[in-house]
Amino acid sequence: MTDKIATPDLMVYAMASEIENFNTVLHGVSSPLPVLGMSVARRTHAPDMAYISGAEGVDSEIDRIYPSSFDPRLNRNAVAYFGLHEAFDLAQRGELNVMFLGAAQIDRFGNTNLSVIGKIDNPKVQLPGGAASAFLMPITPKVVIWATRHTFRVFVEAVDFVTGQGYNNRSEGCKKNKIVVVSNLGVMNFENPGRTMQIQSVHPGHTVDEIKENTGFDILAAPDVGETPVPDQDIVDLIDRIDPDGIRRSEFH
C-alpha cells in the first residue's frame, strides 16, 4: 500500500476505472465525483471517450469544478453542446455506454431509492428525487452508483421506494446491464448468478468484515475480492488541481 489516499480520491479513481476508451459517458446533476472521475479517465486511460456534461458541453476542458455540476464554466473549450434530451435519445438508442447515478438507499439487488424515506404519500424524509435514475438504469449498459456513506441505513435490506431499478423482477432491461457500486469502503458488483451485491474490492485501510458490518443485508464477497487500486500521485495531483476547493468532499460531511 502506498501513502494513504483520501477516500474521495480513491472513489474518483475507482469511478474513472469503470470507463473504457471510446465509451460515451454522461454525468448528471450534483455530481462532483463523476465529473472528476470522467475527467481523470479522459486524461489517462480513456483519451477518446466522449464526455457529455450535464452542463451540455462535449469534451470540454474541465480545469475546475464548481458547486453546481451544471455550471456553464464546465463547458470551457467544448467541441459542441449536446442537450440532455439529446443524450437521453442516445441512451434510448443504446449508444450511451456509462452513466453515474447516486443513491440514498440501495438494496442487495441494486435497486436504489432517491425519492422518500417512509411512504411516498406520507414522507418521513422527502428526498430530492431520482432525476434520470428510473429512465437510465434499465437501458444503460453500465451504471455506476456512488454512495459516500456506506452504512446499514444506506445499504438496506429493502429500499423504501424503488426509484432506480436494480435486478428486480419487474425490469427486464436491467438484467442485461452491468451495475457497479462505488462506496467509501469498497467497490461492489453483481457478477454472480443471483445478481446480488458482492464485494469486488475493498479500499485500502478497510476490510471485508467492515463492509459486511456496515451493510444492512447479507453481502457476499466475490471469489477474487481484492484491494481497490490506488491512484498514482500524479492522478491525485490532477484531482487536486481540478478541485482545489475540495468540493468532492462535500458529500462526505
Partner 1 sequence: MKSVLTSFEEATELVDDGALLTFGGATFQRAPMEFIRELVRQGKKNLTLIDREPAMDFDLLIGAGCVAKVRTGMLAFEVFGMAPNFRRKSEKGEIITKEGACQPIIAGFRAAAMGLPSLPVKGMLGSDLLTISEVIGSQKQIEDPFTGEKMIAVKAIEPDVAVIHAQKADAFGNVRIEGPLYEDVIKAKAAKKVVVTVEELISAGEIRKTPEATTLPHFIVDAVVEVPKGAYPCSCFNYYDTDYDHIQEYLQAAAKDTFEQYLDKCVYRRESE
Task: Lay out the site mask for partner 1 across 215-234 (x = CB under 8 A, - = otherwise).
Answer: --------------------
Least distance between partner 1 and beta carbon 161 (Å): 5
Q: Which of 45, 63, 79, 157 binds partner 1 (CB under 8 A)?
A: 79
Q: Is 124 in the site for partner 1 (CB under 8 A)?
A: yes
* CB nearer to partner 1: pick between 171 and 183: 171
Q: Is 141 in the site for partner 1 (CB under 8 A)?
A: no
Residues 41-70 that bind partner 1 (CB under 8 A): 48, 50, 55-59, 66-70
* CB nearer to partner 1: pick between 120 and 232: 120
* CB nearer to partner 1: pick between 4 and 158: 158
Q: Is 237 in the site for partner 1 (CB under 8 A)?
A: no
> E strands along the chain, which residues?
24-26, 50-52, 57-58, 80-81, 98-102, 105-106, 112-113, 116-119, 122-126, 142-147, 178-183, 186-189, 198-202, 220-227
Residues 7-36 that bind partner 1 (CB under 8 A): 22, 24, 28-30, 32
Residues 155-214 that bind partner 1 (CB under 8 A): 161-165, 168-174
> Which H or E run contains 21?
none
Contacts of 54 (CB under 8 A, 6+ apart): 26, 27, 28, 29, 31, 69, 70, 84
